[in-house]
Structure 1
Amino acid sequence: MVSATTMHHRRRSILQLALLLLAASPAAMLAAGGACEREEFPAGRSYATCADLPALGASLHWTYDAAASSLSLAFAAKPPGASGAGWVAWGVNPTGDGMKGAQTLLAFKSKGAYVVNTYNLTGYRPLSAASTPIAFEATELAADEGADGKVRLYGTLQLPKGMEAVNHIWQVGSTVANGVPAKHAFAQENLEAKGSLVLTGAGATEAAPAPDTTLATWAPPPPGCVKLNVDDSFVEADGNGGVGMILRVHSGGIIFSSCRFMFTCSSALEAEAAACCEGIALALEWSQAPVIIETDCSMLASMLKEDVINR
């Protein structure tokens, strides 16, 4: 049984983290080499470079032919849940750094064999059973399952001439129902499954630059406006979370700061959304100036900008 003292310290730690998160959030980057080098592929499949990705225990293996602008790749990750029931996905986003706009390959098992669909992710909507066209020609699509339960997704993408680096995303899901991949979890690890991939030059075989761990500089709102910064913390193991929010004027002066503990929470995305809603309500009470909202959750920001209602 958890003591009152333990619960107090847990709540205090979560709330402190929520406030500290308001300062900065490091971007996900690649770490080349490591465990990915031990991945064994079937005969005839080999890749010049590999990288252990910083989320979901995934790895990426690739060979880039700059002259032909051809990217041959293998993405490996273990779906959550029962073996053979889930899906894995990897994609390139030519217009942003999040899920919306990504040109994606998704592998899952159908009637006992793995298939690979393509999806142009235009928004946060359910996927279809059938592939949708993507911006890049995709060939040699295939998938299999390794001895460790990881699903390996293979393919070759024809990229635009002169492309030297891309933003990429990756994801795993636990369920495929009637041939339709169900939505993935929204834990912090899922939300952080994105990064930068250097295709050419030294960066293709060396580790990408380490994330900048210094505190980000706060950008003030225009004179006459106020800025609301929100952030969250989430403990997936027990469903507890914390939210923090702070409202400041152009000079940096603080109008209010607030934080609270969340006893029940399903995901980091839910906690971030709660922080945003509560922060807006408080901002409207404390100021009559136009409010600029700043969040480090690209998924939430995209959902708020969409024209459709998203539950």
Structure 2
Amino acid sequence: MARRNHSVWLLAAAALLFAATATAQDNCSSARFPAGRSFQRCTALPELGASLYWTHHPVNGTVDVAFRAPQSAGGWVAWGINTQRPGSMVGSSVFIASQDGSGAVSVLTTYLESTAPSLTNNTLKLAVPAGPAAEYSGGAYTIYATVALPGNSTVQNTVWQAGPLSGGQIAPHPTSAANLRSAQKLDFLSGSRSTGAPRMHRRNLREFLE
């Protein structure tokens, strides 16, 4: 009887996992974009309610990306690729979307050289064939970018974040568990992924400037 109950529990758990996965995929695939923008693949990211959409172009090793994450109008979101330190924000080239007091949305393209980066614009360590763009709608930011995959490899260490603005400037993100786990290895060809907590110490969590 105990073994039977255990089997029933396993089947129920598997059914719940399948349902959760299907729901995440449905939410991802049902997303809408402005006319002229469409993407072949998508994945519901495991943290911060974010999703990633992309189209891979093997002929030139580029990928068109749309990163979408919920956030208040007084906050920022970011997505990027880390070619230096897997699972860490340090060493990442990121796109950071935010808006000013008038509601205009802008994208900062910067390289995070340390745990207290300078956030100097246009310092990415990867090629961007076309200028990025961003929009804010329905309580979420969406960042659009075309990236030349580093090393012409479809497998990349991706990162994403969300945090507040202070005085119109990008302020440090929270140190909640979700923020600390917002990294994963993604294959832009197959869509396979693996997650892992960023390798960082709590005392060094000043990821986006003080």
Indicate whether the TM-score tops 0.5.
yes
SS of aligned partner of 1:43: coil
Q: Does 1:194 align with 2:183?
A: yes
Deviation, structure 1 residue 154: 0.7
Cα RMSD (Å) of the superposition?
Answer: 2.8
Q: 1:188 to 1:301 in 2, by over 3 A?
A: closer
User: Which of structure 1's runs of 4+ aligned residues deviate more than 3 A?
Assistant: 301-304
Q: Which runs of 5+ in 1 are unaligned?
A: 1-29, 213-295, 305-310
Letter of the 1:152 partner, please give it. Answer: T
Partner of residue 208 from structure 1, selected from 188, 193, 197: 193
Tell me the distance in 1 between the aligned counterparts of 2:135 and 2:198: 33
CA distance in 1, matches of 2:111, 2:198: 21
The equivalent residue for 2:149 is 159
Please give the per-residue CA displacement for 1:21-54, whole angstroms capped at 9, x wherever unaligned.
Answer: xxxxxxxxx9983311121111111001000000
Query: 2:170 — aligned with what?
Result: 181
Q: Is the 8 A contact 1:109 1:115 kept in 2?
A: yes
Contact 1:127 1:181 (8 Å CA) reproduced: no
Q: Give the share of equivalent positions with the same residue, in percent.
A: 31
The alignment partner of 1:42 has SS state of coil
- Residues 1:136 and 2:126 are matched in the alignment: yes
Q: Which residues of structure 2 form unaligned runs of 5+?
A: 1-20
Q: What amino acid is aligned across from residue 44 of structure 1 in structure 2?
A: G
What is the CA–CA distance in structure 1 between the aligned matches of 2:113 and 2:198, rounded to whole Å? Answer: 18
Q: How does 1:1-311 map to 2 (within 5 A)?
A: 33-79=25-71, 83-97=72-86, 98-110=88-100, 111-128=102-119, 130-138=120-128, 139-147=130-138, 149-178=139-168, 180-200=169-189, 203-204=190-191, 207-208=192-193, 298-300=199-201, 303=204
What is the count of residue pairs matched by the alignment?
183
Higher Cα radius of gyration = 1
**1:193: Cα distance to partner?**
0.4
- Change in 2 beyond 3 A, CA 1:161/1:187: closer
- Whether the 8 Å contact between 1:126 and 1:182 is mirrored in structure 2 is no
Q: Is the CA contact (8 Å cut-off) linking 1:50 and 1:61 kept in structure 2?
A: yes
**Pairwise CA distance, 1:66:** 1.4
1:190 partner SS:
helix
Seen in structure 2, the aligned counterparts of structure 1 residues 40 and 298 have a Cα distance that, compared at 3 Å, is same
What SS is found at the alignment partner of 2:110?
strand
Length-normalised TM-score, structure 2:
0.78
